[in-house]
């Protein structure tokens, strides 16, 4: 009852699709793609706005268009897609072989493979994780959930909307509701600066006259059956509520864009080490987790700003998996990347110095005119504006990396 | 008196449902279970600690009914949970004392427990306490150990009682609100509801938070119900450390205090607070900063360590119906023939419910001078929906082969399958919350953000209704306000009308 493959990919979103396509092109001929839902593309099909693909396809695409391009390429491969399949367990056998088991409509499945790529994506944080008190009525949705309801199923969650969180997801949903004729009362952001890309502040809020309340916090939801409004309060520099600044905003739906968390359950259960900073697995520059032969890409690895980065990581993981399958990995001695000044997170965590590496990271606090410095090799990259919400991405060549003698690679963000 | 006695039980909480189950055993009754909400057990029964108390808390001279019925109820639950396949853990409870004063209170509790007929109570020292509960506080000096206490799933309990009642002929009326009680010449003659007029001979008032209002409708009254709010926090299943016993502080005259326990589903839970609300706030189940802070601090005192706050996946609040007299109100009301009170069911109401039901049966026997006849085909048993998450791998494969829907995972956190959700609908669930409480879909880490819509899609398909109109908990809680173009249609419609009136 075991099905044998060279490569199993868990997750059919942008990272998973890109890795399936890339692995096929690299000559991996026996690939299975396990997708939980009944369609491929992950969240792309519900992201009907443009702004996708500028890096990856060098075109401005909507989510469904981006997905369609990947699916077109997938068609010309021999990748076996198991849609509607939930992978419950990942186990590594003594010979290094991986076993993935789970369920799909009408049957249980068991897959054996030489390498696996986890591209399981992320989930959204709930109101309970950010401590929004008050009542528990209907009409409180996470942004992605609201987007699914609207753009996959044609359900309108409300007509008077308050969006909590000004990350890109929140901004895009604010505009999405405005486009359907809803009255978007405000986007409420606890930080003194917006969480999303500047272009989204302009295109999603300013163009639609949607107010952005910075340094404000939604503390309570009111309404015994349906949402009747939210209590908001101003916060000081330490994010503590300012007494007496409470206000009530009437609305019938609250949309929460309060953060994403990598879906690492499968990897964690299998024993992969998880990085507290990213919430994703610890990986080396092959995007291999601490479980040999198990790779990670996309939002399960690190929450990305751009789908392009997720797809890029998918390709990277596929190249590594292909190498492992075809020639095997030599034993590397890895150097550890260390978070220095104002660096909140960075991937990959471990560097073999045997190849060029693309780093993805975020700063801890906003700054202007800074440099991301890889200290020992004195490579620096300029960041005119550094914000926690905007991921930085740099490539360092193997030649540069080889110059390092230290066991650690210290990364700092410093003022120019 | 000949013929069937038509009984209406107002309130399908644990008390009403227990009564309906007991009455369903006999041929002499036609039983109607009346519930204002879209599902059973959504009032007081839903949001409580889910403890089957041992029975040492209640002072028999002050609160004779509480004292007697709690101990009796505990015994009956031990049988009922087997008959009805209700998730229960008989893990025992510990009341912790932290100084000599509190140790004296333990002695009082022990004495009370013995008077109430509670078996196997024991006061234990610190060492034995640590053996029974390694995560109990280092500062606890002694504890009262009550091995007969248990943890039950309260909503499963109500669903089980009602399913079993229905299987034995009880008629359940959901979304049915009592508007009036008709009394003719001192006798109950019927119920006025939002749906119809129901002719009955007897009304049993198990209306929880609204029991005083119902009693007034019948012209009885004479008491009032105070809502007392209790807030709770629930941790994720993988949050450690848990506790293996139910841990109480020494009680105060108002409350048994904040409890640390692990639910039958394996989540650590702490609560409740005890906040008396004004009489008019019987729907206020809001969570407050102060309430949750109190719960957190109180719970922290009882254990070595709580899991980190970031592992909390939900908080909620419930209301307990505090009767003005303090004790349960269970009596046949001579003022109105056929009106029977089963109200004021504060703690230990859940524990006492089966014993209350037997007491009500006795009251009916006396009132109507009956020697009730057991139904020939009465079915004692009810089985719970088979849970995929609790099956072995072999069982799962068998289940998927028999019913392909067992292979479709809807709620990833709790491993709930489409087959279970469809079965819950077959058993009468019509709302998302009904599915949630019957299957645990939406009860995991994501609290529904990744699976609520999937549950809604199945409900819409099975009930053949538009997706937007699927509700969280009945009318007024639809997940949407219409289809995605609803506002434009509304706008067009309005403009057209204005245009016409101008023309």
- Nearest-by-CA chain B residue for A225: B477
Give the pLDDT of residue A90.
Answer: 98
Residues B265, B195: one domain? yes
Q: In this complex, do A106 and B486 lie within 8 Å of one another by their Cβ atoms? A: no
Cβ proximity of B433 and B427 under 8 Å: no
The partner residue sitting opposite A133, judged by closest CB among B288, B445, B482, is B288
Shortest Cα distance from A140 to chain B (angstroms)? 9
Q: Is the pLDDT of residue B80 over 60?
A: yes
Give the pLDDT of residue B503.
Answer: 41
Q: In this complex, do B477 and A225 lie within 8 Å of one another by their Cβ atoms? A: yes
- Domain stops at, among B368, B403, B424: B368
Give the pLDDT of residue A87.
Answer: 97
Shortest Cα distance from B284 to chain A (angstroms)? 8
Chain B residues closer than 8 Å to A127 by CB = 447
CA dihedral (B44, B46, B47, B48) in degrees, to 10, reads 80
The partner residue sitting opposite B476, judged by closest CB among A123, A220, A226, is A226
Q: Is the pLDDT of residue B442 over 80?
A: yes
Chain A residues closer than 8 Å to B286 by CB = 133-135, 220, 222
Q: In this complex, do A156 and B481 lie within 8 Å of one another by their Cβ atoms? A: yes
Q: Is the pLDDT of residue A286 over 50?
A: yes
Residues B356, B227: one domain? yes
- Answer with the residue of higher pLDDT: A168 or B492: A168
Binning pLDDT at 50, 70 and 90, where does residue B224 land? very high
- Nearest-by-CA chain A residue for B451: A145
The partner residue sitting opposite A159, judged by closest CB among B288, B478, B487, is B487
Q: pLDDT tens, A217-257?
A: 999 999 989 999 999 999 999 999 999 999 999 999 999 99
Q: Where in chain A is the domain with CATH 3.50.50.60?
A: 1-124+259-329, 126-258
Shortest Cα distance from A278 to chain B (angstroms)? 16
Q: In this complex, do A157 and B486 lie within 8 Å of one another by their Cβ atoms? A: no
Q: pLDDT tens, B382-405?
A: 999 999 999 998 999 999 999 999
Residue B478 tokens, joined = 């639809």
Q: Is the pLDDT of residue B254 over 80?
A: no
SS3 content of chain B, % helix, strand, coil (to 5): 35, 25, 40
CB within 8 Å of chain B, chain A residues 256-275: 265
Q: Is the pLDDT of residue B381 over 80?
A: yes
Give me the CATH number covering residue B306. Answer: 3.50.50.60
Give the pLDDT of residue B253.
Answer: 79
Q: pLDDT tens, B160-185?
A: 999 999 999 999 999 999 999 999 99
Rounded CA gap, B321 and B319, in Å? 7
Q: In this complex, do B477 and A226 lie within 8 Å of one another by their Cβ atoms? A: yes
Cβ proximity of A27 and A78 under 8 Å: no
Q: In this complex, do B450 and A104 lie within 8 Å of one another by their Cβ atoms? A: no
Q: In this complex, do B400 and A154 lie within 8 Å of one another by their Cβ atoms? A: no
- Nearest-by-CA chain B residue for A108: B397
B53: annotated active-site residue: yes
Mention every residue, 6+ apart, whose C-beta is less than 8 A from residue A192. Answer: A214, A215, A237
- Nearest-by-CA chain B residue for A141: B449
Cβ proximity of A314 and A19 under 8 Å: yes
Residue B66 tokens, joined = 């509480």
Chain A residues closer than 8 Å to B486 by CB = 156, 159
Q: pLDDT tens, B335-346?
A: 999 999 999 999
Count Cβ–Cβ pairs < 8 Å, chain A vs chain B.
140
* Cα atoms found within 13 Å of the Cα of residue B356, Cβ hemisphere only: 33
- Nearest-by-CA chain B residue for A158: B481
Give the pLDDT of residue B2.
Answer: 56
Residue B457 three-state SS: helix
Rounded CA gap, A258 and A169, in Å? 9
Q: Is the pLDDT of residue B86 over 50?
A: yes
DSSP E strand boundaries for B223-328:
225-235, 246-249, 259-262, 268-271, 275-276, 312-323
Cβ proximity of A218 and A129 under 8 Å: no
DSSP H or E run through B144:
strand B142-146
Burial of A371 (0-12, 13-18, 19+ CB in 10 A): middle
Burial of B428 (0-12, 13-18, 19+ CB in 10 A): middle
The partner residue sitting opposite A136, judged by closest CB among B312, B316, B486, is B316
CB within 8 Å of chain B, chain A residues 185-244: 219-220, 222, 224-226
Q: Which of A269-283, A314-328, A402-416, B388-402 has the lowest mean pLDDT?
A: A402-416
Rounded CA gap, A293 and B142, in Å? 53
Residues B97, B71: one domain? yes
**pTM, full prediction:** 0.96
Among positive and negative, which fits the CA dihedral A232, A236, A241, A242? negative
Q: In this complex, do B449 and A124 lie within 8 Å of one another by their Cβ atoms? A: yes
Q: In this complex, do B409 and A252 lie within 8 Å of one another by their Cβ atoms? A: no
How many residues make up chain A in this entry?
416
DSSP E strand boundaries for A85-238:
85-92, 98-104, 107-118, 122-124, 133-134, 140-142, 155-156, 160-164, 183-188, 212-213, 216-222, 229-234
Give the pLDDT of residue B500.
Answer: 58
Chain A residues closer than 8 Å to B491 by CB = 181
Q: Give Cα A95 distance to the centre of its chain.
A: 32
The partner residue sitting opposite A106, judged by closest CB among B404, B483, B491, is B404
**Which DSSP category does B267 fall into?**
-
Q: What is the 3-state secondary structure of B5-68? A: EEEEEECCCHHHHHHHHHHCCECCEEEEEECCCCCCCCCCCCCCCCEECCCCCCCCCCCHHHHH
Cis amide linkage into residue B265, ω under 30° from 0:
no
Question: What are the C-alpha distances in Å from B225 to residues B57, B174, B211, B217, B271?
Answer: 21, 23, 7, 15, 22
The partner residue sitting opposite A105, judged by closest CB among B292, B316, B407, is B407
Q: Is the pLDDT of residue B5 over 60?
A: yes
Beta partners for residue A52, in sequence order: A61
Q: Is the pLDDT of residue B1 over 60?
A: no
Average pLDDT of the residues in A156-181: 97
Residues B17, B154: one domain? yes
Binning pLDDT at 50, 70 and 90, where does residue B498 land? low
Give the pLDDT of residue B497.
Answer: 65
Give the pLDDT of residue B491.
Answer: 82
Chain A residues closer than 8 Å to B476 by CB = 225-226
Average pLDDT of the residues in A122-136: 96
Interface mutation target, options B36, B231, B287, chain A, most CBs of A under 10 Å: B287
In this structure, is residue B82 part of a structural domain? yes
Residues B349, B417: one domain? no
- Nearest-by-CA chain B residue for A268: B238
Q: In this complex, do B407 and A104 lie within 8 Å of one another by their Cβ atoms? A: yes
Residues B248, B343: one domain? yes
In this structure, is residue B170 part of a structural domain? yes
Q: Is the pLDDT of residue B255 over 90?
A: no
Give the pLDDT of residue B501.
Answer: 54
Chain B residues closer than 8 Å to A156 by CB = 468, 480-487
The partner residue sitting opposite B453, judged by closest CB among A135, A148, A181, is A148
CB within 8 Å of chain B, chain A residues 122-151: 123-124, 126-129, 133-138, 141-142, 144-145, 148-151
- Nearest-by-CA chain A residue for B292: A133
Residues B411, B491: one domain? yes
Residues B295, B421: one domain? no
Average pLDDT of the residues in B292-310: 97
Cβ proximity of A34 and A266 under 8 Å: no
Q: In this complex, do B287 and A134 lie within 8 Å of one another by their Cβ atoms? A: yes
The partner residue sitting opposite A103, judged by closest CB among B312, B409, B467, is B409
Among positive and negative, which fits the CA dihedral A323, A329, A330, A336? positive
Chain B residues closer than 8 Å to A180 by CB = 484-485, 487-488
Q: Does domain A126-258 have CATH number 3.50.50.60?
A: yes
Q: Is the pLDDT of residue B252 over 90?
A: no
How many residues make up chain B in this entry?
503
- Domain stops at, among B315, B341, B368: B368
Q: What is the value of ipTM here, to two decimals?
A: 0.96
Q: Is the pLDDT of residue B247 over 60?
A: yes
The partner residue sitting opposite B483, judged by closest CB among A135, A156, A181, is A156
Shortest Cα distance from A101 to chain B (angstroms)? 10
Chain B residues closer than 8 Å to A128 by CB = 312-315, 447
- Domain stops at, among B310, B334, B368: B368
Residues B350, B433: one domain? no
What is the count of structural domains for chain B? Answer: 2
Rounded CA gap, A103 and A88, in Å? 8
- Answer with the residue of higher pLDDT: B430 or A404: B430
Report how far apart the first and last C-alpha atoms of chain A are (Å, whole number): 61
Provide the domain limits for residue B68. 5-368
In this structure, is residue B377 part of a structural domain? no
Give me the catalytic one of B53, B78, B126, B173: B53
Q: Which fold has domain A1-124+259-329?
A: FAD/NAD(P)-binding domain (3.50.50)
Q: In this complex, do B487 and A36 lie within 8 Å of one another by their Cβ atoms? A: no
Burial of A416 (0-12, 13-18, 19+ CB in 10 A): exposed
Q: pLDDT tens, A50-67?
A: 999 999 999 999 999 999
Chain A residues closer than 8 Å to B408 by CB = 84, 103-105
Residue B491 tokens, joined = 């706008």
Q: How many CB atoms lie within 10 A of CB B126?
A: 17
Cβ proximity of B109 and B124 under 8 Å: no
Interface mutation target, options B484, B487, B488, chain A, most CBs of A under 10 Å: B484
């Amino acid at each position: 009852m075991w099905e044998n493959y060279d490569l199993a990919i868990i997750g059919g979103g942008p990272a998973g699709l890109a890795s399936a396509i890339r692995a096929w092109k690299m000559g991996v001929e026996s690939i299975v793609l396990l997708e939980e839902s009944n369609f491929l593309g992950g969240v792309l099909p519900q992201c009907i706005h443009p702004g996708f693909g500028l890096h990856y396809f060098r075109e401005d695409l909507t989510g469904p268009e981006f997905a369609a391009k990947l699916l077109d390429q997938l068609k010309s491969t021999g990748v076996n897609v198991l849609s509607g399949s939930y992978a419950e367990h990942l186990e590594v056998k003594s010979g290094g072989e991986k076993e993935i088991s789970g369920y799909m409509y009408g049957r249980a499945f068991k897959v054996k493979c030489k390498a696996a790529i986890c591209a399981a994506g992320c989930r959204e944080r709930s109101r309970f994780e950010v401590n929004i008190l008050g009542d528990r009525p209907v009409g409180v949705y996470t942004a992605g959930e609201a987007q699914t309801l609207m753009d996959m199923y044609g359900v309108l969650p409300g007509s008077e909307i308050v969006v909590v969180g000004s990350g890109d997801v929140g901004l895009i949903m604010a505009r999405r509701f405005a486009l359907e004729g809803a009255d978007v009362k405000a986007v409420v952001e606890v930080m003194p600066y917006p969480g999303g890309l500047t272009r989204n502040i302009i295109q999603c809020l300013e163009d639609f006259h949607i107010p952005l309340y910075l340094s404000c916090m939604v503390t309570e939801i009111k309404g015994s059956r349906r949402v009747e409004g939210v209590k908001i309060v101003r916060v000081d520099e330490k994010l503590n509520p300012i007494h007496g600044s409470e206000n009530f905003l009437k609305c019938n739906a609250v949309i929460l864009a309060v953060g994403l968390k990598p879906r690492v359950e499968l990897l964690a259960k299998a024993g992969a080490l998880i990085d507290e900073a990213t919430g994703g697995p610890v990986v080396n520059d092959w995007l291999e987790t601490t479980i040999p032969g198990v790779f990670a890409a996309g939002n399960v690895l690190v929450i990305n700003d751009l789908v392009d980065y997720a797809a890029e990581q998918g390709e990277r993981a596929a190249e590594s998996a292909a190498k492992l399958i075809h020639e095997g990995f030599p034993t590397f001695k890895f150097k550890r990347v260390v978070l220095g000044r104002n660096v909140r997170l960075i991937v990959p965590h471990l560097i073999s110095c045997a190849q060029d590496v693309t780093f993805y990271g975020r700063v801890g606090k906003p700054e202007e005119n800074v440099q991301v410095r890889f200290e020992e090799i004195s490579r620096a990259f300029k960041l005119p504006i550094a914000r926690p919400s905007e991921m930085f991405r740099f490539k360092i060549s193997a030649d540069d990396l080889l110059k390092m003698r230290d066991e650690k690679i210290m990364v700092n963000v410093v003022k120019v | 008196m000949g013929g069937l006695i038509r009984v209406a039980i107002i309130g399908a909480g644990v008390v009403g449902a227990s009564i309906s189950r007991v009455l369903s055993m006999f041929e002499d009754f036609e039983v109607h279970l009346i519930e204002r909400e879209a599902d059973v057990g959504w009032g007081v029964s839903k949001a409580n600690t889910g403890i089957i108390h041992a029975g040492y808390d209640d002072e028999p001279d002050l609160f004779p009914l509480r004292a007697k019925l709690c101990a009796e109820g505990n015994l009956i639950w031990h049988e009922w949970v087997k008959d009805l396949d209700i998730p229960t853990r008989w893990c025992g409870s510990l009341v912790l004392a932290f100084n000599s004063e509190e140790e004296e209170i333990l002695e009082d509790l022990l004495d009370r427990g013995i008077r109430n007929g509670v078996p196997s109570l024991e006061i234990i020292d610190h060492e034995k306490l640590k053996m029974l509960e390694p995560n109990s506080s280092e500062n606890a000096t002694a504890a009262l150990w009550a091995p007969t206490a248990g943890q039950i799933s309260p909503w499963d309990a109500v669903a089980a009682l009602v399913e079993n009642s229905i299987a034995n002929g009880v008629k359940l009326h959901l979304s049915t609100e009592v508007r009036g009680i008709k009394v003719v010449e001192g006798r109950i003659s019927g119920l006025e509801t939002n749906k119809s007029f129901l002719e009955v001979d007897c009304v049993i008032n198990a209306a929880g938070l609204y029991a005083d209002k119902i009693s007034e409708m019948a012209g009885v009254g004479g008491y009032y119900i105070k809502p007392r709010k209790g807030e709770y926090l629930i941790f994720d299943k993988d949050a450690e450390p848990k506790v293996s016993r139910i841990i109480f502080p020494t009680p105060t005259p108002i409350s048994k205090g904040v409890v640390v326990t692990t639910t039958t589903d394996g989540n650590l839970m702490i609560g409740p607070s005890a906040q008396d609300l004004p009489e008019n706030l019987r729907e206020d189940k809001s969570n407050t900063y102060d309430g949750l802070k109190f719960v957190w601090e109180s719970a922290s005192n009882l254990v070595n360590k709580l899991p980190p706050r970031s592992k909390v996946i939900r908080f909620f609040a419930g209301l307990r119906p505090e009767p003005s007299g303090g004790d349960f109100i269970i009596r046949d009301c001579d003022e109105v023939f056929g009106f029977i009170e089963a109200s004021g069911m504060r703690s230990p109401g859940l524990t006492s419910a089966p014993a209350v039901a037997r007491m009500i049966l006795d009251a009916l026997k006396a009132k109507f001078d009956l020697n009730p006849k057991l139904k020939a085909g009465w079915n004692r048993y009810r089985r719970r929906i088979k849970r995929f998450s609790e099956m072995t791998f072999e069982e799962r494969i068998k289940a998927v082969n028999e019913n392909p829907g067992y292979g479709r995972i809807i709620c990833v956190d709790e491993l709930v399958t489409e087959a279970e959700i469809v079965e819950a609908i077959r058993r009468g669930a019509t709302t998302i919350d009904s599915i949630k409480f019957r299957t645990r879909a939406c009860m995991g880490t994501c609290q529904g953000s990744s699976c609520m819509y999937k549950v809604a899609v199945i409900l819409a398909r099975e009930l053949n209704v538009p997706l937007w109109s699927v509700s969280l908990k009945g009318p007024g809680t639809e997940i949407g306000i219409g289809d995605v173009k609803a506002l434009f249609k509304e706008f067009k419609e309005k403009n057209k009308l204005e245009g016409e009136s101008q023309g």
